[in-house]
Structure 1
Protein backbone atom coordinates (compact mmCIF):
# COMPACT_ATOMS: atom_id res chain seq x y z
CA UNK A 1 0.00 0.00 0.00
CA UNK A 2 2.87 2.38 0.80
CA UNK A 3 4.23 1.96 -2.72
CA UNK A 4 0.85 3.05 -4.12
CA UNK A 5 1.03 6.23 -2.05
CA UNK A 6 4.56 6.94 -3.30
CA UNK A 7 3.66 6.20 -6.94
CA UNK A 8 0.58 8.42 -6.71
CA UNK A 9 2.58 11.24 -5.15
CA UNK A 10 5.08 11.06 -8.02
CA UNK A 11 2.35 10.89 -10.67
CA UNK A 12 0.48 13.74 -8.97
CA UNK A 13 3.58 15.93 -9.13
CA UNK A 14 4.28 14.97 -12.74
CA UNK A 15 0.81 15.08 -14.26
CA UNK A 16 -1.48 17.52 -12.42
CA UNK A 17 1.59 19.38 -11.16
CA UNK A 18 2.61 20.11 -14.72
CA UNK A 19 -0.87 21.29 -15.76
CA UNK A 20 -1.70 23.45 -12.72
CA UNK A 21 1.81 24.31 -11.55
CA UNK A 22 4.65 24.40 -14.04
CA UNK A 23 2.81 25.58 -17.16
CA UNK A 24 0.98 28.43 -15.34
CA UNK A 25 4.34 29.42 -13.80
CA UNK A 26 5.97 29.50 -17.25
CA UNK A 27 3.07 31.54 -18.65
CA UNK A 28 3.31 34.09 -15.81
CA UNK A 29 6.97 34.01 -14.80
CA UNK A 30 7.69 37.57 -15.98
CA UNK A 31 4.58 38.94 -14.27
CA UNK A 32 5.01 36.98 -11.05
CA UNK A 33 6.87 39.59 -8.98
CA UNK A 34 4.14 42.16 -9.67
CA UNK A 35 1.39 39.66 -8.97
CA UNK A 36 2.90 38.54 -5.67
CA UNK A 37 3.51 42.13 -4.51
CA UNK A 38 0.04 43.41 -5.43
CA UNK A 39 -2.56 44.07 -2.76
CA UNK A 40 -5.07 41.27 -2.35
CA UNK A 41 -8.70 41.97 -3.13
CA UNK A 42 -11.89 39.94 -2.86
CA UNK A 43 -11.22 38.10 -6.12
CA UNK A 44 -7.69 37.25 -5.00
CA UNK A 45 -9.00 35.74 -1.77
CA UNK A 46 -11.69 33.83 -3.64
CA UNK A 47 -8.98 32.58 -6.02
CA UNK A 48 -6.93 31.32 -3.07
CA UNK A 49 -10.05 29.61 -1.72
CA UNK A 50 -10.69 27.88 -5.10
CA UNK A 51 -7.06 26.74 -5.26
CA UNK A 52 -7.36 25.07 -1.85
CA UNK A 53 -10.74 23.52 -2.67
CA UNK A 54 -9.45 22.21 -6.00
CA UNK A 55 -6.28 20.84 -4.41
CA UNK A 56 -8.33 19.15 -1.68
CA UNK A 57 -10.59 17.54 -4.27
CA UNK A 58 -7.65 16.34 -6.38
CA UNK A 59 -5.83 14.87 -3.38
CA UNK A 60 -9.00 13.20 -2.13
CA UNK A 61 -9.44 11.62 -5.57
CA UNK A 62 -5.90 10.26 -5.45
CA UNK A 63 -6.72 8.76 -2.05
CA UNK A 64 -9.83 7.07 -3.51
CA UNK A 65 -7.70 5.70 -6.39
CA UNK A 66 -5.36 4.12 -3.84
CA UNK A 67 -7.96 2.77 -1.40
CA UNK A 68 -10.83 1.81 -3.70
CA UNK A 69 -9.14 1.42 -7.06
CA UNK A 70 -5.86 -0.11 -5.83
CA UNK A 71 -3.98 1.80 -8.51
CA UNK A 72 -2.76 5.21 -9.54
CA UNK A 73 -3.97 8.14 -11.57
CA UNK A 74 -1.42 7.27 -14.25
CA UNK A 75 -2.57 5.30 -17.29
CA UNK A 76 0.64 3.27 -16.87
CA UNK A 77 -0.56 1.94 -13.47
CA UNK A 78 -4.35 1.94 -13.82
CA UNK A 79 -6.76 1.20 -11.05
CA UNK A 80 -7.78 -2.42 -10.67
CA UNK A 81 -11.32 -1.58 -9.58
CA UNK A 82 -13.80 1.05 -10.69
CA UNK A 83 -13.84 3.96 -8.21
CA UNK A 84 -17.43 4.99 -7.46
CA UNK A 85 -17.26 6.16 -3.82
CA UNK A 86 -16.86 9.60 -2.30
CA UNK A 87 -16.96 12.42 -4.84
CA UNK A 88 -17.19 9.81 -7.60
CA UNK A 89 -20.84 9.32 -6.54
CA UNK A 90 -21.55 12.83 -7.85
CA UNK A 91 -19.15 13.23 -10.77
CA UNK A 92 -17.36 10.72 -12.94
CA UNK A 93 -14.42 13.13 -13.18
CA UNK A 94 -13.90 14.98 -9.90
CA UNK A 95 -10.10 14.96 -10.34
CA UNK A 96 -10.46 17.08 -13.48
CA UNK A 97 -13.00 19.30 -11.74
CA UNK A 98 -10.50 19.83 -8.91
CA UNK A 99 -7.74 20.72 -11.36
CA UNK A 100 -9.97 23.19 -13.17
CA UNK A 101 -10.91 24.79 -9.83
CA UNK A 102 -7.19 25.22 -9.11
CA UNK A 103 -6.67 26.84 -12.51
CA UNK A 104 -9.69 29.15 -12.14
CA UNK A 105 -8.43 30.07 -8.69
CA UNK A 106 -5.06 30.92 -10.22
CA UNK A 107 -6.83 33.03 -12.84
CA UNK A 108 -8.67 35.00 -10.15
CA UNK A 109 -5.56 35.36 -7.99
CA UNK A 110 -3.36 36.55 -10.87
CA UNK A 111 -6.02 38.38 -12.94
CA UNK A 112 -4.23 37.00 -16.01
CA UNK A 113 -6.03 36.80 -19.34
CA UNK A 114 -3.25 34.56 -20.64
CA UNK A 115 -3.93 32.10 -17.84
CA UNK A 116 -7.68 32.31 -18.48
CA UNK A 117 -7.17 31.32 -22.12
CA UNK A 118 -4.92 28.45 -21.01
CA UNK A 119 -7.54 27.33 -18.46
CA UNK A 120 -10.31 27.27 -21.05
CA UNK A 121 -8.04 25.31 -23.42
CA UNK A 122 -7.25 22.82 -20.65
CA UNK A 123 -10.98 22.45 -19.89
CA UNK A 124 -11.70 21.69 -23.54
CA UNK A 125 -8.78 19.25 -23.68
CA UNK A 126 -10.02 17.48 -20.53
CA UNK A 127 -13.51 17.19 -21.98
CA UNK A 128 -12.28 15.74 -25.28
CA UNK A 129 -9.84 13.39 -23.53
CA UNK A 130 -12.60 12.06 -21.27
CA UNK A 131 -14.99 11.48 -24.18
CA UNK A 132 -12.56 9.99 -26.69
CA UNK A 133 -9.97 8.25 -24.50
CA UNK A 134 -11.03 7.67 -20.90
CA UNK A 135 -14.65 6.66 -21.32
CA UNK A 136 -13.92 4.11 -24.08
CA UNK A 137 -11.01 2.67 -22.05
CA UNK A 138 -13.08 2.44 -18.86
CA UNK A 139 -15.90 0.81 -20.83
CA UNK A 140 -13.44 -1.80 -22.14
CA UNK A 141 -11.88 -2.34 -18.70
CA UNK A 142 -15.02 -2.43 -16.55
CA UNK A 143 -17.74 -3.22 -19.12
CA UNK A 144 -21.29 -3.27 -17.69
CA UNK A 145 -20.17 -1.82 -14.35
CA UNK A 146 -18.92 1.33 -16.07
CA UNK A 147 -21.94 1.57 -18.36
CA UNK A 148 -24.24 1.39 -15.32
CA UNK A 149 -22.09 3.99 -13.56
CA UNK A 150 -22.30 6.26 -16.62
CA UNK A 151 -26.09 6.05 -16.51
CA UNK A 152 -26.22 6.97 -12.81
CA UNK A 153 -23.52 9.66 -12.50
CA UNK A 154 -23.00 12.76 -14.62
CA UNK A 155 -19.73 13.27 -16.45
CA UNK A 156 -18.88 16.53 -14.68
CA UNK A 157 -21.36 17.58 -11.97
Structure 2
Protein backbone atom coordinates (compact mmCIF):
# COMPACT_ATOMS: atom_id res chain seq x y z
CA UNK A 1 0.00 0.00 0.00
CA UNK A 2 1.33 3.46 -0.83
CA UNK A 3 1.99 5.80 2.09
CA UNK A 4 -0.54 8.37 0.92
CA UNK A 5 -3.29 5.75 0.80
CA UNK A 6 -2.13 4.33 4.14
CA UNK A 7 -2.21 7.80 5.71
CA UNK A 8 -5.72 8.52 4.44
CA UNK A 9 -6.96 5.09 5.52
CA UNK A 10 -5.36 5.51 8.93
CA UNK A 11 -6.96 8.92 9.41
CA UNK A 12 -10.39 7.51 8.60
CA UNK A 13 -9.86 4.51 10.86
CA UNK A 14 -8.58 6.84 13.62
CA UNK A 15 -11.94 8.61 13.65
CA UNK A 16 -13.90 5.37 13.37
CA UNK A 17 -12.14 3.32 16.08
CA UNK A 18 -10.25 5.20 18.80
CA UNK A 19 -12.22 8.35 18.02
CA UNK A 20 -15.43 6.53 18.87
CA UNK A 21 -14.12 4.46 21.78
CA UNK A 22 -12.08 7.22 23.47
CA UNK A 23 -14.17 10.21 22.37
CA UNK A 24 -17.78 9.51 21.53
CA UNK A 25 -18.18 6.67 24.07
CA UNK A 26 -17.02 8.74 27.05
CA UNK A 27 -19.19 11.60 25.89
CA UNK A 28 -22.24 9.29 25.83
CA UNK A 29 -21.41 8.10 29.34
CA UNK A 30 -20.49 11.42 30.95
CA UNK A 31 -21.79 14.15 28.68
CA UNK A 32 -18.32 15.61 29.30
CA UNK A 33 -19.82 17.43 32.26
CA UNK A 34 -17.56 17.86 35.29
CA UNK A 35 -18.83 16.38 38.53
CA UNK A 36 -17.35 16.73 41.99
CA UNK A 37 -17.63 13.42 43.84
CA UNK A 38 -14.92 14.66 46.22
CA UNK A 39 -14.47 17.99 48.01
CA UNK A 40 -13.25 20.72 45.63
CA UNK A 41 -9.66 20.77 46.90
CA UNK A 42 -9.30 17.07 46.00
CA UNK A 43 -10.74 17.50 42.55
CA UNK A 44 -8.13 19.99 41.31
CA UNK A 45 -5.18 17.56 41.36
CA UNK A 46 -7.42 14.77 39.99
CA UNK A 47 -8.52 16.98 37.11
CA UNK A 48 -4.91 17.97 36.37
CA UNK A 49 -3.89 14.29 36.44
CA UNK A 50 -6.85 13.54 34.17
CA UNK A 51 -5.79 16.12 31.60
CA UNK A 52 -2.21 14.80 31.63
CA UNK A 53 -3.39 11.19 31.27
CA UNK A 54 -5.80 12.14 28.48
CA UNK A 55 -3.10 14.02 26.56
CA UNK A 56 -0.54 11.24 27.07
CA UNK A 57 -3.05 8.61 25.90
CA UNK A 58 -3.95 10.65 22.82
CA UNK A 59 -0.25 11.14 21.98
CA UNK A 60 0.37 7.39 22.28
CA UNK A 61 -2.53 6.58 19.95
CA UNK A 62 -1.46 9.17 17.37
CA UNK A 63 2.14 7.92 17.50
CA UNK A 64 1.00 4.32 16.99
CA UNK A 65 -1.13 5.28 13.99
CA UNK A 66 1.76 7.21 12.42
CA UNK A 67 4.04 4.21 13.03
CA UNK A 68 1.67 1.95 11.05
CA UNK A 69 1.93 4.27 8.05
CA UNK A 70 5.65 5.05 8.29
CA UNK A 71 7.00 1.65 9.28
CA UNK A 72 4.35 -0.80 8.16
CA UNK A 73 3.08 0.92 5.00
CA UNK A 74 -0.46 0.14 6.06
CA UNK A 75 -3.15 1.01 8.54
CA UNK A 76 -4.25 -0.39 11.89
CA UNK A 77 -7.54 -1.39 10.24
CA UNK A 78 -7.70 -5.16 9.65
CA UNK A 79 -8.91 -4.62 6.06
CA UNK A 80 -5.76 -2.62 5.17
CA UNK A 81 -3.17 -4.19 7.45
CA UNK A 82 0.51 -3.27 7.18
CA UNK A 83 2.79 -5.25 4.91
CA UNK A 84 5.53 -5.40 7.55
CA UNK A 85 5.38 -6.23 11.25
CA UNK A 86 5.40 -2.94 13.19
CA UNK A 87 7.90 -3.20 16.06
CA UNK A 88 9.39 0.31 16.26
CA UNK A 89 8.65 3.28 18.47
CA UNK A 90 6.35 2.48 21.36
CA UNK A 91 5.88 -1.02 19.95
CA UNK A 92 9.39 -1.73 21.26
CA UNK A 93 7.97 -1.44 24.78
CA UNK A 94 4.43 -2.84 24.57
CA UNK A 95 2.58 -4.84 21.91
CA UNK A 96 -0.68 -2.92 22.21
CA UNK A 97 0.20 0.78 22.61
CA UNK A 98 -2.97 1.88 20.82
CA UNK A 99 -5.18 0.06 23.29
CA UNK A 100 -3.09 1.25 26.24
CA UNK A 101 -3.35 4.82 24.91
CA UNK A 102 -7.12 4.56 24.43
CA UNK A 103 -7.54 3.24 27.98
CA UNK A 104 -5.33 6.04 29.32
CA UNK A 105 -7.47 8.61 27.48
CA UNK A 106 -10.68 7.14 28.93
CA UNK A 107 -9.24 6.98 32.45
CA UNK A 108 -7.99 10.55 32.03
CA UNK A 109 -11.53 11.64 31.22
CA UNK A 110 -12.84 9.75 34.27
CA UNK A 111 -10.49 11.81 36.45
CA UNK A 112 -11.06 15.05 34.57
CA UNK A 113 -14.85 14.84 34.78
CA UNK A 114 -15.01 13.04 38.14
CA UNK A 115 -17.24 10.38 36.61
CA UNK A 116 -17.16 6.84 38.02
CA UNK A 117 -19.27 5.67 35.07
CA UNK A 118 -16.22 6.21 32.89
CA UNK A 119 -14.25 3.80 35.09
CA UNK A 120 -16.86 1.13 34.34
CA UNK A 121 -16.75 2.08 30.66
CA UNK A 122 -12.92 1.79 30.70
CA UNK A 123 -13.17 -1.70 32.22
CA UNK A 124 -15.68 -2.84 29.58
CA UNK A 125 -13.66 -1.26 26.74
CA UNK A 126 -10.44 -2.78 28.10
CA UNK A 127 -12.00 -6.23 28.31
CA UNK A 128 -13.28 -5.92 24.73
CA UNK A 129 -9.89 -4.76 23.45
CA UNK A 130 -8.11 -7.54 25.34
CA UNK A 131 -10.43 -10.17 23.92
CA UNK A 132 -10.06 -8.79 20.39
CA UNK A 133 -6.26 -8.71 20.67
CA UNK A 134 -6.06 -12.22 22.10
CA UNK A 135 -8.58 -14.06 19.93
CA UNK A 136 -8.38 -12.15 16.67
CA UNK A 137 -5.23 -10.04 16.27
CA UNK A 138 -2.61 -12.36 17.73
CA UNK A 139 -3.62 -15.44 15.70
CA UNK A 140 -3.74 -13.33 12.52
CA UNK A 141 -0.33 -11.78 13.21
CA UNK A 142 1.14 -15.18 13.94
CA UNK A 143 -0.29 -16.54 10.69
CA UNK A 144 0.93 -13.55 8.69
CA UNK A 145 4.38 -12.95 10.20
CA UNK A 146 5.16 -16.37 11.71
CA UNK A 147 8.41 -16.69 13.64
CA UNK A 148 9.05 -12.93 13.59
CA UNK A 149 5.80 -12.27 15.42
CA UNK A 150 6.32 -15.20 17.82
CA UNK A 151 9.76 -13.87 18.75
CA UNK A 152 8.29 -10.38 19.23
CA UNK A 153 5.36 -11.72 21.28
CA UNK A 154 7.70 -13.62 23.60
CA UNK A 155 9.92 -10.56 24.13
CA UNK A 156 7.38 -7.71 24.46
CA UNK A 157 4.50 -7.69 26.94
CA UNK A 158 1.02 -7.04 25.62
CA UNK A 159 -0.26 -4.54 28.14
CA UNK A 160 2.36 -3.39 30.65
CA UNK A 161 5.32 -1.68 28.95
CA UNK A 162 8.81 -3.06 29.39
CA UNK A 163 11.46 -0.56 30.43
CA UNK A 164 14.14 -1.54 27.95
CA UNK A 165 13.16 -1.38 24.29
CA UNK A 166 12.93 -4.53 22.22
CA UNK A 167 15.47 -4.83 19.42
CA UNK A 168 14.61 -7.43 16.77
Q: Superposed, which structure 2 residues align to 1:115-154 within 5 Å?
A: 115-154=118-157
Runs of 4+ in 1 over 4 A off after TM superposition: none
What is the alpha-carbon distance in structure 1 between the residues aligned to residue 29 and residue 55 of structure 2? 21
Deviations 1:36-60 (A, max 9, x none): xxx7611001100001100100000
What is the alpha-carbon distance in structure 2 between the residues aligned to residue 99 and residue 22 of structure 1? 12
What is the alpha-carbon distance in structure 2 between the residues aligned to residue 106 and residue 125 of structure 1? 19
Matched, 1:73 2:76: yes
What is the alpha-carbon distance in structure 1 between the residues aligned to residue 151 and residue 109 of structure 2? 36
Deviation at 1:3, TM superposition (A): 2.5
Matched, 1:19 2:21: yes
What is the alpha-carbon distance in structure 2 between the residues aligned to residue 61 and residue 85 of structure 1? 9
Q: Which has the higher helix share?
A: 1
Please name the residue that 1:98 is paired with: 101
Deviation at 1:135, TM superposition (A): 0.5
Please name the residue that 2:113 is paired with: 110
Deviation at 1:87, TM superposition (A): 0.8
Deviates more, 1:2-11 or 1:142-151: 2-11
SS in 2 for 1:41: helix
Please name the residue that 1:10 is paired with: 12
Deviation at 1:2, TM superposition (A): 2.3
Unaligned ranges ≥5, structure 1: none
Deviations 1:2-30 (A, max 9, x none): 2222211111011100001111111122x
What is the alpha-carbon distance in structure 2 between the residues aligned to residue 10 and residue 127 of structure 1? 23
How many residues get paired? 152
Q: Name which of 14, 20, 41 aligns with 2:44.
A: 41
Q: What is the root-mean-square deviation of aligned Cα atoms in Å?
A: 1.4
